Structure 1
Amino acid sequence: MSRVVLVVDMLRGFLEEGNPLYCGARARRIIPAVKQLLQRESEHGTPIIFVGDQHQPDDPEFQRFPPHCVAGSRESEVIPELSDLADTFIAKQHLSAFTDTGLATVLEKHGATTIVICGVCTDICVLHTASTAREKGYDVELPAGCVASFDEKNGVFALDHMEKVLGVRVTSPSSPPLRRDWAIPQDWLDGDTADLYFLRTVEILKKEGINPVVTMEVFPRRDGILCGIEEAKSLLRQVLPTQNSEVWALEEGDSFSRKEVVLRITAPYQDFGVYETCYLGILAHCSGWATAARECVSAARGLPVLSFGARHVHPSVVAVMEYSAIVGGCTGCASTAGARLAGMTPVGTIPHALIIIMGSTAAATLAFDREMGPEVPRIALVDTFEDEVRESVAVAKAMKGKLSMVRLDTPSERGRVTAELVKEVRAWLDLEGFSAVQIAVSGGLDPDRIRYFLDEGAPIDLFAVGSYISDSRPLDFTADLHEVDGKPIAKRGRMPGLTPNPSLKRVM
């Protein structure tokens, strides 16, 4: 699989204030995420192609939109933040980057099979480019936090349409490389975690001298996001024979529909029959967490979402829960174990305990600043002793320009965080000259609460979600035999033979 990153319309005309088609402040907030994406992909040798409007003065498009990005104008230039990465630039004059351009030829030269698309606008040029790419047979990935639009609701619709109708894989804005080297505990391999009847089944078959090559298909009971498949594959790699077996699966992070086959195993039954409990359990919990995370990420309309749910689960599953949340689209997590598993850096703020011990939020934040390295963002929790507005301004003044963000986590006893409170904090920070200080919100968040804040126009930069992800219901999976020694078969209520799913790829 050869990847290419396509950067759409990251131009001054769309991302600098004062231009007729300026996409707004929310669009500018994707710039750091886009830059991080491009730098990461560049380090892995992925070709990066910029495409952007270069219109003629009499372009027919100006009958629908104000004149913009005329070739040779300042508006048509790549924004300065990304210009050093724009070695390859293809001019376009239509909504799709493929129309009347040399893009298809360039992609062919790179041997591209997967296109990662980022930029603006989600519901216009990004959508049309993704649609053409899918029609041409490319796999398309779209990091949700690396696209933006003039109209948030249209942007959300476009993301949903691309994922569900076009088959675009909507990913986390900072998706780490998938972890493929999962360590499988010995007690799993010994069958200690298996349902007893599987152990007895294999014992009986061994004693009877029966070991047919069977095909097992795994499907979910409801729609969701697949997670845990890499861990399941690691298990299967250890137990399946190198010959006379094959495994087909969807990819980690793929969306799936109810009863869609996500995993198909063909092998001698005795080699893997004991492990049905294990791989079903992996998929059930991990996909449940990933699905809940994706629901929050979708509701956030491109704003980053962090997983803060470690305190709600048993310590033995913290790492895999946080990893699953990141697969579902969260941009980071609060636990070291989860971040390590996902190949990321953990993200944290300041707890109430430190503030109470130090005597004030300002004192605690200043101590944090003195003792933590410069690479750690300075994020202050601002609801301990004073009202949130007063604490936000006081800490910002004390930090003298070094404060990155304030986190609002007002408890239910005080009415929780509201959209009006966020607006008030933003207004006072701006008034006092701290417009660069961002605002995070946490505390009892779920997709409905996230949508409430955005529908009310609350100027939030980040959401931190805990129990909605960590406490999510496991997503039930079922495994059924569909072939025995090549002969179609099934229990009553199921269709015999292989279930068609062109999305499956052979992975072993």
Structure 2
Amino acid sequence: MAKFHIATADDIISGRATDIYFIRTVETLKAAGLDDAVVRAEFHVASLPEGYKWAVFAGLKEALYALEGKPVTVYALPEGTLFGENQPLMVIEGRYVDFAVFETTVLGILRHYSSIATKAARVKKAAGDKSCLFFGARVLHPAVQPMADRAAYIGGCDGVAGVLGAELMGKQAVGTMPHALMIIFRALKGDHTEAWVWFDAAAPPQVPRIVLADTFLDEREEAVLAVKRLGERLWGVRLDTPGSRRGNMRRIVEEVRWTLELMGRRDVKIVVSGGLDEEAVAELADIVDAFGVGTSIAFPPSVDISMDIVEVKVGGAWTPITKRGKLPGFKQLYDCGGLKRVVRPWGEPPPKCADGSEGRPLIKKYMEDGKIVESIPSEDEIRRYVLRQLESAEL
């Protein structure tokens, strides 16, 4: 009996993390003598979640590692590329029987990664130059926490709270303190503000002294106590009031800010967390210094990526073919600036952009016969790429 129902790296690489019908499809093709059928299978999104104008292509690194060593060639957009509906994202070329069982795996990687990265990018776009921290590890199965942390970070979040997820990216986890700390001090010491003093004494010096200021008293009152207890060492206050007790969050923040300024502490930062999405962040971005966002990024609307065969090699020549409702043929996606994308059949001349320049091809070869042939960028490089594109994006 398994203790944890999770796939191991070996399960993923061996193709065991698949749907049974792909195994039966391979068996059927072999029985019919069609196991040499060579195809091009395209990954794309027919429609984005309601209200979305773009999404972030993410998960390419892990998709490539899942396919590494298999006799296939892979073309794809660079990880972190913003894309729209009906635009090609990735193509696998090879004998269908050699990668059929990996459709489930690759789709799961790309779809889950892209969904989280897209929501993170939307939140970061709403936050503007204010910090956005991902606090979503606690709402996810531990097996996928590091993946979600990476997706949120490359999507634009400035930091993640998950220890393992941060470590795997070579980062330091970020975070403040839980309400549990104040509750224990209140129950056993009679004063929850003692928790802040002891946190200050115990935390490493590089950790910002951010007090969770809403456990027992009004947010304004706790912010005042935080200044009195920690003095100049106080970096910020976090307001994590649940929606059932919150009221008008903007008014609460304004009240806290006004009071801190009266105390001569305009330097104290205000961090808001708890039930935030891009709409809530946009409403507060002008008066809040940082946001902790968890559930809305960890459980975002799904970016519905699908895979379809778009070409089959017949008699040595590539023949465009696919199911109805899809566009047959191998395609290139061109960038004309400002998130303007143009789709053209592969091999055709680049389109002319509105400014008279030629479109820049985005899809390139990342794997040839199972060998990765293109360098895989770091998380920081991908994140910077996403942030550059967000400058031209609209929510």
TM-score class, shorter: 0.7 to 0.9
Pair 1:405-2:236 in alignment: yes
- Residue correspondence of structure 1 range 455-494 to structure 2 within 5 A: 457=286, 459-485=287-313, 486-494=318-326
Query: How far apart are the structure 1 equivalents of 2:227 and 2:60?
Result: 45
- For residues 320 and 463 of structure 1, the distance between their equivalents in structure 2, rounded to whole angstroms, comes to 21
Match of 1:380 among 211, 217, 224: 211
Change (3 A) 1:358 1:417: farther
Deviations 1:405-462 (A, max 9, x none): 11011222322461121122112212222222111011111111112224xx5x2100
1:60 paired residue number: none
Residues 271, 211 of structure 1: alpha-carbon distance in 2 compared, 3 angstrom cutoff: same
Code of the aligned partner of 1:189: I
Partner of 1:201: 25
Letter of the structure 2 residue corresponding to residue 299 of structure 1: A
Indicate whether 1:220 and 2:45 are aligned: yes
Aligned AA (1:498): F
- 1:505 aligned partner: 364
Deviation at 1:352, TM superposition (A): 0.6
Instruction: Write out aligned runs for 1:436-447 (5 A).
Output: 436-447=267-278
Map 1:152-167 → 2, pairs under 5 A: none
Query: What secondary structure does 2:270 align onto?
Result: strand
Shift of residue 361 of structure 1? 4.2
Tell me the number of residue pairs that the alignment of Structure 1 and Structure 2 aligns: 319
* TM-superposed deviation, 1:404: 1.2
AA matched with 1:198: F
What TM-score do you get using the length of structure 2 for normalisation? 0.76
- SS of 1:500's partner is strand
Structure 1 residues 440 and 205, CA gap change in structure 2 (3 angstroms): same
Cα distance, 1:349 vs structure 2: 0.7
Distance in 2 (CA, whole Å) between partners of 1:470 and 1:255 is 19
Q: CA deviation at 1:302?
A: 2.1
Structure 2 CA distance for aligned equivalents of residues 394 and 284 of structure 1: 46
**Alignment partners' CA distance in 2, 1:184 and 1:500:** 34
Supply the RMSD in Å over aligned alpha carbons. 1.9
Q: Does structure 2 conserve the Cα–Cα contact (< 8 Å) formed by 1:366 and 1:398?
A: yes
Residue type of the alignment partner of 2:183? I
Structure 1: distance between partners of 2:13 and 2:27: 15
CA contact (8 A) 2:321 2:328 kept: yes
> 1:4 maps to which residue?
none
Task: Name the CA distance, whole Å, in 2 between partners of 1:377 and 1:284.
Answer: 35
Of 113, 124, 145 in structure 2, the residue corresponding to residue 318 of structure 1 is 145
Query: Does 2:129 correspond to 1:302?
Result: yes
- Residue type matched to 2:363 in 1? L
TM-score, with normalisation over the residues of structure 1? 0.60
In structure 2, runs of 5+ residues without a counterpart are 1-6, 49-53, 334-360, 368-395
Note if 1:435 corresponds to 2:263.
no
Structure 1 counterpart SS, 2:311:
strand
Q: Which runs of 4+ in 1 moved over 4 A?
A: none
Does the alignment pair 1:414 with 2:273? Answer: no
CA distance in 2, matches of 1:208, 1:386: 73
Query: How far is the alpha carbon of 1:464 from its aligned partner?
Result: 0.9
Unaligned regions of 5+ residues in structure 1, if any?
1-182
How far apart are residue 205 of structure 1 and its match? 2.9
What is the match of residue 332 of structure 1?
159
What code does the residue aligned with 1:212 have? A
Listed one character per residue, the Cα deviations across residues 15-42 of structure 1 (whole Å, up to 9, x for unaligned) are xxxxxxxxxxxxxxxxxxxxxxxxxxxx
Decide whether the 8 Å contact of 1:482 with 1:489 is kept in 2: yes
Q: Which amino acid aligns with 2:37?
A: P
Q: Percent identity?
A: 41
How far apart are the structure 2 equivalents of 1:409 and 1:430?
A: 21
Report the Cα distance in structure 2 between the residues aligned to 1:405 and 1:379, rounded to whole angstroms. Answer: 5
Correspondence for 1:37:
none
1:208 positional shift: 4.2
For the Cα contact (< 8 Å) 1:261–1:499, is it kept in 2? yes
In 2, the alpha carbon distance for the partners of 1:417 and 1:225 equals 32
User: How far is 1:387 from its partner?
Assistant: 1.3
What is residue 51 of structure 1 aligned with on the other side? none
What is the one-letter code of the residue matched to 1:418? M
| Gap change, CA 1:419 and 1:495, over 3 Å in 2 | closer
- Give the counterpart letter for 1:206 in structure 2: K
Shift of 1:300: 1.1
Once residues 494 and 395 of structure 1 are traced to their aligned partners in structure 2, the CA distance between those partners, rounded to angstroms, is 59
Does the CA contact (< 8 Å) of 2:132 and 2:291 recur in 1?
yes
Mapped contact 1:227–1:283 kept (Cα < 8 A):
yes
Write out per-residue CA displacement over residues 114-137 of structure 1, whole angstroms, 9 at most, x where no aligned residue: xxxxxxxxxxxxxxxxxxxxxxxx
- C-alpha contact (below 8 Å) 1:289/1:325 kept by paired residues: yes
Amino acid at match of 1:487: T
Which of 1 and 2 has higher RCO (CA within 8 Å, sep 6+)? 2
Secondary structure in 1 matching 2:197: helix
The equivalences for 1:178-193 within 5 A come to 185-193=9-17
Q: Equivalences for 1:351-370 in 2 at 5 Å?
A: 351-359=178-186, 360-370=191-201
3-state secondary structure, aligned to 1:251: coil
SS in 1 for 2:68: helix
State whether structure 2 residue 223 is matched by structure 1 residue 392. Answer: yes
